[in-house]
Amino acid sequence: MGTLRIASSFKNVHAIMHAPLGDDYFNVMRSMLERERDFTPMTTSIVDRHVLARGSQEKVVENILCKDKQEQPDLIVLTPTCTSSILQEDLQNFVNRAILNSKAAILLADVNHYRINELQAADRTLQQIIHFYLKKCSLTSITKTIKPSVNIIGIFTLGFHHQHDCRELKRLFYDLDITINLILPEGLQVQQIHTIPNAWLNIVPYREVGLMTATYLEKKFQMPFIDISPIGLIETSNFIHKICSYLPYNPQIQNYINNHTQFRVQSAWFARSIDCQNLTGKKAIVFGDTTHAIALTKILVREMGIQVLCAGTYCIHDANYFREQLEGFCHEILITEDHTKVANMIARLEPSAIFGTQMERHIGKRLNIPCGVISAPIHIQNFPLGYRPFVGYEGTNQIADLIYNSFTLGMEDHLLEIFGGHDIKEVITKSLATQTVITWSETSLLELKKIPGFVRNRIKRNTEQYAQQNNIRLITLEVMYAAKESLATYI
Amino acid sequence: MNTQLNFECETGNYHTFCPISCVAWLYQKIEDSFFLVIGTKTCGYFLQNALGVMIFAEPRYAMAELEESDISAQLNDFKELKRLCLQIKQNRNPSVIIWIGTCTTEIIKMDLEGLAPRIELDLKIPIVVARANGLDYAFTQGEDTVLAALVHRCTRQNTSSNSTRNKLVLFGSVSNTVANQLTIELQKQNIQIDGWLPSQNYIDLPTLNSNVYVCGINPFLSRTATTLMRRRKCKLIGAPFPIGPDGTRQWIEKICDTFKQKPIHLVEREQQIWAQLQEYCDLVKNKSVFFMGDNLLEISLARFLIRCGMIVNEIGIPYLDKRFQASELQLLKQTCQQMQCSLPRIVEKPDNYNQIQRIHEFQPDLVITGMGLANPLESRGINTKWSVEFTFAQIHGFFNASDILELVTRPLRRNSKIFK
């Protein structure tokens, strides 16, 4: 999945999955969540009974060559899945054979489905593609850009608010008078890859995806990289300072930061305003990927004075870094991939707000605790149309809103509970005839209960009306359906 | 004009849901069941995405996620599965646990059918094994594998009465509302339904023996039909499927024929429904539709839409059992003659890439397709309807014919409203 996300982020790169029917739901996610207008550049070379019996033989090679002709991509990435991993077919051999006859370059993604997760696969694949195109490049052939420039590594499809974050970063660099050399991999063409080393330094805003590439580039081309996520005021300042340490000294920078934190950005003032006093010492729980969980915890604690009872991540492979970063910021640390453990932890600690993934939002719903979504896995509502970055100065505003709104809703809820709800009078159903002599049979009452609450009363009224018009005293299932049928009119 | 049905077969590089998605509706249908999907992260990820919100509502299904040690046989399958099933039994106490085999269990040749009886004996809880994997099946065929597995669990002898009266059992999972509606419809013809497969509860599975007539209500149940005939000597009533008023009428007629009942007011009933659909039909008349194919309902839906006056460019379908769908294909042919239009081409195992080329060529007014292709097609100015909705909507019987057209016309109505 991570491999596919990387491959489909590049321009004119096609992914071919060696997988059984139905494993290609990635294109559903991309087309639905991102509301993508283009066909997902991905095909499945179907593994079926015949493949099991005789091996893929020519099939994979044929599919590769067919795509090469149909779409004329620059690069084709062949992706194994957990099913094809166990088949232990020599996919590299297929790749080697296909290369002979194809115009496109072909790569086999080096991922093992039983050992790594989606984010690790994405990280690995990105590094693999960059390495593939840069391995022949030598240090001497590089011409650095005249003006300071950076590469942004790790912006890709289905990422949490990646598009907005990318725009915000661009704005930040524009303000700092730094040009952006390339953005990897979103929208990148493979022909551009050889210009990567021309930048002065690399930026890795999310440590889950891009670190491997940045480390590789550092080793090979001595390109420094910055892995601070500029999420929150303090981290954004750190981020800018760190960048500037690689550039010629510019006295304007400190002014720029001060100006922003003190005057331009609402969130800084907001945190000091009287409204935010109410949040002091409130209890929260944070869970998500490493980047966002760490950033949010630090913001809650350092910038808003909120107590974080527990911070956690599902990035098990990066657990040490997570612990190290949040040392002293929270009472407990939870590292798990099991969402029932997270649910139990939330139930035990009873925070007044949760900041987590969609999973935690649903847990929150069950426990009646408000939840702000800060990290993948996410639903379609986390791909907003409006501008909602998490990084940079505008990001701090967005996060402040998110945090504040989660808590106020909670407060409101409690007040309502104390006073017994918005409207404590019992709802009186509007009925047409006050003395209806119509009775409902047992089965039809059961059926009525199955109808969703918000339309149930209307259906009940309509059915009774129908019964009255037709002089029916007892409403049976049949009468119900007949009533529905008589009302089924063209909308 | 084309008067013979043309069948083609392409590469099978098309998009559909994995058949394990059948747990989504089956666990809700069979209320005392628990579904255990034995697969990998990919399967889990798919279920999580496809079923969205449902997974958070304490559903009665779970994943047994295979890890590297399972694959390399370092762990004992028997012990692992027994442990899991024991846990399920203790926490949920279901009447049956249904194991869903996946591609991975298939490839590593995990002997689920062999393990199940042993664990069943130890834990004293029925365990049914269905191989709903993407190697062999597409989307709705998952239900077929589960129902076929359930056939073996139905009793042979009816304990309460030993009458030799012929019985009627319907097979296919529909919501209880639709089941009630079809029951009422047949009651009007003095025909009693003696059972459903699946039933609302596992413990109420119908009795099946050679006195039983069975009739399918969904076109993707060919395996179940075969199992019913071969293993239980049931007699299959071959009929078109009760989708659309035309299909429903013929379906009831065929059942009436079998039970030697003269249909009562059936033609009038059909006409009455058509009259109600008039406004929808006016809207779709002479509009063309293209089925990309992913859920096996395509033939029945196309037949109904042709009868509504639409022109069908192509019927893509993952798999076509010509014997099980014989009556449906016959009705499709008749309908085309009656509506004086040429017979559509039927493409089995379609290739999505080629289909998109053909869509560009035909420029159909509506494409019925999966979600992966819907948005890209819309952005190219082609109206689409998600095919998955037909699987989850209530589309059977006279009552629900308008719901089908509601779905079909929605994109047409929406787009005529916003682009004016």
A201 min Cα distance to partner chain B (Å): 36
Entry pTM: 0.83
Substitution target in A3, A28, A58, A378 with the highest count of B β-carbons within 10 Å is: A28
For residue A159, the model assigns a pLDDT of 85
Tens of pLDDT, residue by residue over A422-473, are 554 544 444 444 455 778 888 888 888 777 766 777 788 888 888 888 888 8
Catalytic residue chosen out of the listed positions A275, A338, A401, A413? A275
User: Left if phi > 0, otherwise alpha if psi is -120 to 50, otherwise beta: which for B87?
Assistant: alpha
CB A52 to CB B135 under 8 A?
Answer: yes
A22 in B contact zone (CB under 8 Å)? yes
A421 is in an annotated binding site: no
Residues in chain A: 491
- Please state whether the peptide bond connecting residue A377 to the residue before it is cis, i.e. omega within 30 degrees of 0: yes
Residue with tokens 């960059």: A130
Which residues are bridge partners to B34 per DSSP?
A: B97
- A residues 345-384 lying closer than 8 A (beta carbon) to B: 359, 362-363, 365-366, 377, 379
Asked whether residue A278 carries a pLDDT value surpassing 80, the answer given is: no
Comma-separated ranges of CATH 3.40.50.1980 domains in chain B: 6-13+264-419, 19-137, 167-239
DSSP secondary structure code for residue B66 in this structure: -
Report DSSP letters for B206-258, one per residue: PP-STTEEEEESSTT-HHHHHHHHHHH-PEE-----SBHHHHHHHHHHHHHHH
Residue of A nearest to B281 (CA): A490
CB A82 to CB B177 under 8 A?
Answer: no
B114 in A contact zone (CB under 8 Å)? no
Asked whether residue A482 carries a pLDDT value surpassing 70, the answer given is: yes
Which of B18, B137, B379 lies at the smallest CB-CB distance from A37? B379
Name the strands in the sheet holding A330-335, side by side, starting at the edge strand that comes first in the sequence.
Answer: A330-335, A307-313, A283-288, A353-356, A371-373
- Please state whether the peptide bond connecting residue B376 to the residue before it is cis, i.e. omega within 30 degrees of 0: no
For residue A406, the model assigns a pLDDT of 84
Average pLDDT of span B325-336: 94
Please give the share of chain A, as a percent, with pLDDT higher than 70: 92
More confident residue, B82 or A45: B82
Delineate the domains of chain A, giving CATH numbers in brackets. 1-115 (3.40.50.1980), 149-267 (3.40.50.1980), 270-418 (3.40.50.1980), 439-489 (1.10.8.550)
A291 in B contact zone (CB under 8 Å)? no
Which of A83, A377, A478 lies at the smallest CB-CB distance from B184? A478
Our CA angle for A82, A83, A89, nearest 5°, is: 105
B134 in A contact zone (CB under 8 Å)? yes
Residues in chain B: 420
B138 in A contact zone (CB under 8 Å)? yes
Tens of pLDDT, residue by residue over B123-152, are 999 999 999 988 888 899 999 999 999 999
B19-137: which CATH number, 3.40.50.1980, 3.40.50.2000, 3.40.50.2300, 3.90.550.10? 3.40.50.1980
ipTM at complex level: 0.76
- Which architecture does CATH list for B167-239? 3-Layer(aba) Sandwich (3.40)
CB B375 to CB A37 under 8 A?
Answer: yes
Distance CA A482, CA A459 (A): 12
A18 min Cα distance to partner chain B (Å): 11
Hey, CA dihedral for A100, A101, A105, A109, is it positive or negative?
negative
Strands B288-291 and B366-369, by their bridges, are: parallel
For residue A487, the model assigns a pLDDT of 67
Distance CA B23, CA B217 (A): 19
Q: Residue A130: which of A40, A62, A68, A192 has the closest Cα?
A: A192
Tens of pLDDT, residue by residue over B88-117, are 999 888 999 999 998 888 888 888 999 999
Strands A75-80 and A42-46, by their bridges, are: unpaired
Distance CA B60, CA A22 (A): 22
B6-13+264-419: which CATH number, 3.40.50.1980, 2.40.110.10, 3.40.50.620, 1.10.1740.10? 3.40.50.1980
Q: Residue A451: which of A484, A489, A479 has the closest Cα?
A: A484
Tens of pLDDT, residue by residue over A204-257, are 999 999 999 999 999 988 899 999 999 998 999 899 989 888 887 777 778 888
Average pLDDT of span B344-352: 91
A4 in B contact zone (CB under 8 Å)? no
Tell me how far the alpha carbon of residue A433 is from its chain's centroid. Answer: 53
Tens of pLDDT, residue by residue over A321-359, are 999 999 889 999 999 988 788 988 998 998 989 999 988
For residue B117, the model assigns a pLDDT of 92
Q: Which two tokens stand for residue A200?
A: 């002065």
For residue A468, the model assigns a pLDDT of 82
Confidence of residue B41 (pLDDT cuts 50, 70, 90): confident
In this structure, are residues A149 and A177 in contact, taking their beta carbons and an 8 Å threshold? no
A63 in B contact zone (CB under 8 Å)? yes
For residue A434, the model assigns a pLDDT of 47
In this structure, are residues B302 and B380 in contact, taking their beta carbons and an 8 Å threshold? no
Distance CA B299, CA B188 (A): 28
For residue A92, the model assigns a pLDDT of 87
The long-range contacts involving A361-365, CB below 8 angstroms and separated by at least 24 positions, are A362/B53, A362/B56, A363/A339, A363/B56, A365/B56
- Which residues of chain B make contact with A81, given a CB cutoff of 8 A? 42
Asked whether residue A187 carries a pLDDT value surpassing 70, the answer given is: yes
CB B138 to CB A83 under 8 A?
Answer: no
Asked whether residue A367 carries a pLDDT value surpassing 60, the answer given is: yes
Active site residue A24: no
A410 is in an annotated binding site: yes
Distance CA B385, CA B291 (A): 10
For residue B230, the model assigns a pLDDT of 93
Which of A19, A38, A113 lies at the smallest CB-CB distance from B376? A38
